Amino acid sequence: MSEVGQEIPLLFDVEVECTHQYTGGGSEVESSGSEGDDEYDQDSDGSSNEDDDDLNNKYIDVIPVQGDNQENQIVAFNGDNDDGDDKYQSEEILNKVEFEDKEDEDKDNDNEGKTKAHRAWTKAKIIMEGSEREQYKRIRDYCLEILRSNPGSTCQRLLEDIGEGPQGRGWSFISDRQKRLVSTISEMSPTSEHRLCAYHIYSNYAKKFKGRELRDFLWSCAKSTTMPEFTSNMNKLKEFNPKAWEYLSRIPPNQWTRAAFDTYSKSQVYTNNMCEQFNSKIVEARGKPIISMMEEIRLFIMNKMITQRNRLKRFIGPLCPKVRDKLESNKLESRLWVPQWVGDPNGEKFEVWCKPNKYVVDIGAKSCSCRSWDLCGIPCEHAISALGWRHLSPEDYVHTSLTKDTYEKVYAPYIQPVNGQSMWPHDNSDEIQPPSIKKKRGRPKKLRRKDSTEKEIAANSRKLKKLPVQSCRTCGGTGHNSRSCNRHGGGSSSLEPRSELIAGVDQQQASTNVVETQESIA
């Protein structure tokens, strides 16, 4: 209805084909409606408009279509009556419309369900892990509780916590090749040694220089323990690819090759895999609120120290297992080297040779010209050969930092327990507000972004599934199961019973033949 109470005129484009049976003649006559704005009147058989409306509702589908000149245009179609498919076509369209409406309702219900589930998950997460804003408010209280339960704990700058290093020699730092990090460490701690992770150098190197040969050249240079060996490997790389040699030459050797490392730290590590391992253990904790995160890291370190102490109790001998294995490997290689004492009064200096190579060993200084003993603190094969000539035990010449006693001292301290939030002391200072972080769309990423070289290695390598050792529950042996167990006559042992059965049948047949022969003779 319009504002003045009049109906808005609608334009109809109607094509009606129906069959009607007259009461008088009994024959079927086709009648079709007219086009235009006509209304349905009574037919010659006296049928009313209600009957026509019933026919329209059954056989005519009304679909609104936007016209060009008219505001509303309604087009009604129905199928041809000659084949009798008009009713089925209209019902099919109606069913399709009903199905689409039902799909829309299901989508709305699913979206509403997802929204409810997300809200419920958020509330449960806050209950389990805590609120970010509330935990920032109580972070000062948490620090007071840590200082109460674990006196001497600090949260300051790194160099203020660890100091300048033992005997003024500084520490050895290993990091990625960051732009400002190298200059910062050299300024803040000039006596410290700063190494760069060789794997991160290789990741950037492999983007420009691909191939297995170029990769092997880089790792041979990084593993070189003497400068002549390092120079020789670099010259080979220069002959193979001058641009790759120029790229590596721009990096100072004391930052990525063992040949230029300081021997004071007794560590020949050139990658920061220890940091990557620790980061992989705290992946889940990093996504939690600040106090929950620190509590999980504290508990992880606590359990780690307990585990290491329990492992140390199982170690036999003065050395740790990995150090012992490395020493045993060097002992096997030492059989190829021949020591020659130079005649010094203390009997400590030797020439150890295996043609065409020769190295100088000083037992008193615990040094070898190959620098392997100097770098890691474990006697090399040349030193073990000289120690064997003196009938000395190589275990006594391992650096003290690699012994079992030192490891026990490292893991002897333990972390004191901490009370819950309800028993924390209160700090009257201003509350700390959480930083404003703009959340990105999608699921937050927790895993470390892998480099292209790691993806290639993962694509080319296949992890073999380690199958369990087959054991027998009957006899307890390995290599077979209870069905093939020989003790109780199983499956594979069924070959033996079968052979015995066949032998028994043959023996019975033979005895039967003997009896028949005797009867025939009688």
Q: How many CA atoms lie within 13 A of 264 on its CB side?
A: 12
Q: What pLDDT band is residue 69 in, cutting at 50, 70 and 90? A: very low
The rounded distance, in Å, linking the Cα atoms of 375 and 326 is 14
The rounded distance, in Å, linking the Cα atoms of 451 and 460 is 15
Contacts of 74 (CB under 8 A, 6+ apart): 10, 11, 12, 13, 62, 63, 64, 65
The rounded distance, in Å, linking the Cα atoms of 231 and 214 is 16
pLDDT per position as a tens digit, 256-267: 999 999 998 899
Domain coordinates in residue numbering, the chain: 158-277, 321-402
Tokens of 374: 């100097």
Q: What is the pLDDT of residue 480?
A: 82
Distances (CA, A) of 259 to 42, 225, 271, 314: 110, 4, 15, 36
Amino acid at 445: K
Q: What is the pLDDT of residue 455?
A: 62
Give the containing element (helix H, strand E) for 193: strand 193-196
Of residues 336, 382, 335, the one with CA closest to residue 363: 382
Distances (CA, A) of 376 to 91, 258, 373, 402: 86, 10, 6, 9
Q: What is the pLDDT of residue 463?
A: 56
The rounded distance, in Å, linking the Cα atoms of 430 and 358 is 69
Contacts of 398 (CB under 8 A, 6+ apart): 319, 323, 327, 377, 378, 379
Residue 123 has φ and ψ, to the nearest 5°, of: -65, -40
The rounded distance, in Å, linking the Cα atoms of 405 and 392 is 21
Contact yes or no for 373/383 (Cβ under 8 A): yes
What is residue 280's DSSP assignment? H
pLDDT per position as a tens digit, 334-359: 999 999 999 999 999 999 999 899 99
The rounded distance, in Å, linking the Cα atoms of 218 and 203 is 11
Mean pLDDT of the chain: 75
- For every residue of 240-254, DSSP letters joined together read H-HHHHHHHHTS-GG
- Whether the per-residue pLDDT at 360 is higher than 90: the answer is yes
- Whether the per-residue pLDDT at 158 is higher than 60: the answer is yes
More confident residue, 503 or 270: 270
Q: What is the pTM assigned to this prediction? A: 0.63
Residue at token pair 């389990």: 128
Q: What pLDDT band is residue 178 in, cutting at 50, 70 and 90? A: confident
The dihedral region occupied by 14, where left means phi > 0, alpha psi between -120 and 50, and beta the remainder, is: beta
